[in-house]
Amino acid sequence: MSSTGFGSSTGKVRLLSIALMGLGLVALIQQQILLRRPPRLRSVAIQSIRSGAAALDVRFSRAMDRKSVAENSRLLPHQPHQWFGQQDQFRLLLDPGALIRSPQKLVLAGRDQRGLALPNRSIWWDPRSYLLAVMVEEDGEQLKLRREDGSWLPLSSVEQRILQIEPLGNGEGVAFVTDHDPSKLEVLLRQLRPRAISDQAQGLADPLPGAIQSLASGSLLFAHLSSNQRGELLVQVGGIEVGSDRTWIRSANAKRRDLDLEVAGPIRLLPDGSGLVVPSYEGLDLLPMNPKKTGNSPQSLPGSRELKSFCSGSGRAVLLRNWPDYRRSIELVIPGQPPRQVWLGEEGVMATACDNRGEKIWIVLRDASPTLRDELLLVNSSGSVLKRRYFPGWYLASGAVLDVDPATNRLLTVMTDGDGAKRRAALIDGSSLEFELLKPQVVLARWLPAGGDLDEFHQVRR
């Protein structure tokens, strides 16, 4: 009986060994089959943090030969561009001088590092921003989005007043502040589903409105909003009572993180999501978003300075500095360098903007002598004036900003006539400085960045 038991045990060991060898052989065969399968596209996403006119992040199922991808892929209509990245993650970056007037078709092709060809894949993509405006209605004001066909899509109910609009940097929503009476503000967020990328030409469409959410309301005296290109939203509110000020950040996945900060004005998020600019009584402080993780200490820029605009793809920014003799200067801040003065004068600085690289800066100046007039300057990063023009009979509206769409090289702002009775959204060519006034009566206007991505099943994701 003992020998029989021994033989049975030996047989089981042999069967187990054979089974394991079989499984190993099957795994080896499967691995060889997978290695011989052509690579495939995993995902494509519109990338908002870029130094060019537009960018796409492309991910493959395995490591690709970047030179092969660059040589065999096509962009229609053709735009000057470059490919960056390595392994299975690449970035297509359109050059800063590219002008996009229509949707782009990207035909992806190339070989992986084993020499296997990627089956051609076509992706349609429209990186142009959408125009958001607060329009004047009979009973108040309403936030609307300008569709591709020129019609307007309502994004809010008709409110008594809308004081601020802040598009999310990833294109997935727009936050705004409404005013019901002098001490009752409300912060609302209209969620949007971007549809600026598709595997079919007919799949491109205007953003689809989603739910509307109240982020703050009640007895509020002020509310300020700021977003970055990750889609995070900073909300800063304060009421009548002492200690009622609150500041928090809403992440792209709707999580809230409260901030405990002593500030002297509105806070701005850095475009890349790495930190925030906090005004203090002695200047401007640059704080890291997660100081415990990064270990970076706050940086300070002393003096009577005001942050005017970010050059989002380069880490540069434009500041307004006020001098004791009542002159004003515009400074370009470059990381690791002292501020560089690019303009100095006595005129009022109404607004500024800069391109993604910080190489071009637009400045709206107001001169009241001998008559009131606004002038738009285009200067380079050294302060040389490249172009200038006046707006006869029109002026930058109070509280208006200069907003840049890198894809079309157009500035967006709000202008008013000499009597202040008309307020129109103005589209300004960033090179020629020629401007076009839209017909509707508006209060505020901003660009909503294009957004969206595709997963490996070629389904549009939020």
- Specify the pLDDT at position 1: 45
Which whole-number Å values give the CA distances from 3 to 10, 13, 184, in the listed order?
Answer: 10, 15, 92
Instruction: Give residue-wise pLDDT tens across range 350-399.
Output: 999 999 999 999 999 999 888 889 999 999 999 999 999 999 899 999 98
- Specify the pLDDT at position 457: 47
Tell me how far apart the alpha carbons of residues 99 and 161 are, in angstroms, rounded to a whole number. Answer: 36
Sequence-separated (6 or more) residues with CB below 8 Å from residue 83: 66, 69, 70, 73, 90, 91, 92, 93
| Residue 309 pLDDT greater than 60, yes or no | yes
| Residue 41 pLDDT greater than 80, yes or no | yes
Tokens found for residue 114: 């084993």
Instruction: Give residue-wise pLDDT tens across range 183-209.
Output: 789 999 999 999 999 999 999 999 999
- Specify the pLDDT at position 364: 98
Distance of CA 24 to the CA centre of its chain: 49
Instruction: Give residue-wise pLDDT tens across range 126-164.
Output: 999 999 999 999 999 999 999 999 999 999 999 999 999
| Residue 31 pLDDT greater than 70, yes or no | no
Mean pLDDT for the stretch of residues 270-277:
93
Q: DSSP characters for 161-188?
A: -EEEEEE-TTSSEEEEEEEEETTEEEEE
Sequence-separated (6 or more) residues with CB below 8 Å from residue 124: 103, 104, 105, 106, 197, 198, 199, 200, 201, 203, 204
Other beta carbons within 10 Å of 370: 6
pTM: 0.90
Which whole-number Å values give the CA distances from 172 to 124, 336, 364, 432, 449, in the listed order?
Answer: 19, 33, 30, 32, 9
Tokens found for residue 132: 């958001």
- Specify the pLDDT at position 460: 44
Q: Which of 142, 48, 10 is nearest to 442 (CA)?
A: 142
Mean pLDDT for the stretch of residues 21-27:
62
- Specify the pLDDT at position 19: 63
- First-last CA distance in the chain: 69
| Residue 462 pLDDT greater than 70, yes or no | no
Exposure class string for 153-164: b at 16+ Cβ within 10 A, else e? eebbeebeebbb
- Specify the pLDDT at position 461: 45
Point out which residues pair with 406 in neighbouring strands.
none
Q: 270 by DSSP, 3-state: which? A: coil
Tell me how far apart the alpha carbons of residues 236 and 252 are, in angstroms, rounded to a whole number. Answer: 17
CA angle 342, 95, 336 (to 5 degrees): 40
Q: Which of 17, 34, 234 is nearest to 114 (CA)?
A: 34
Instruction: Give residue-wise pLDDT tens across range 94-128.
Output: 999 899 999 999 999 999 999 999 999 999 999 99
Strands 283-288 and 305-311, sheet pairing: unpaired
- Specify the pLDDT at position 35: 59
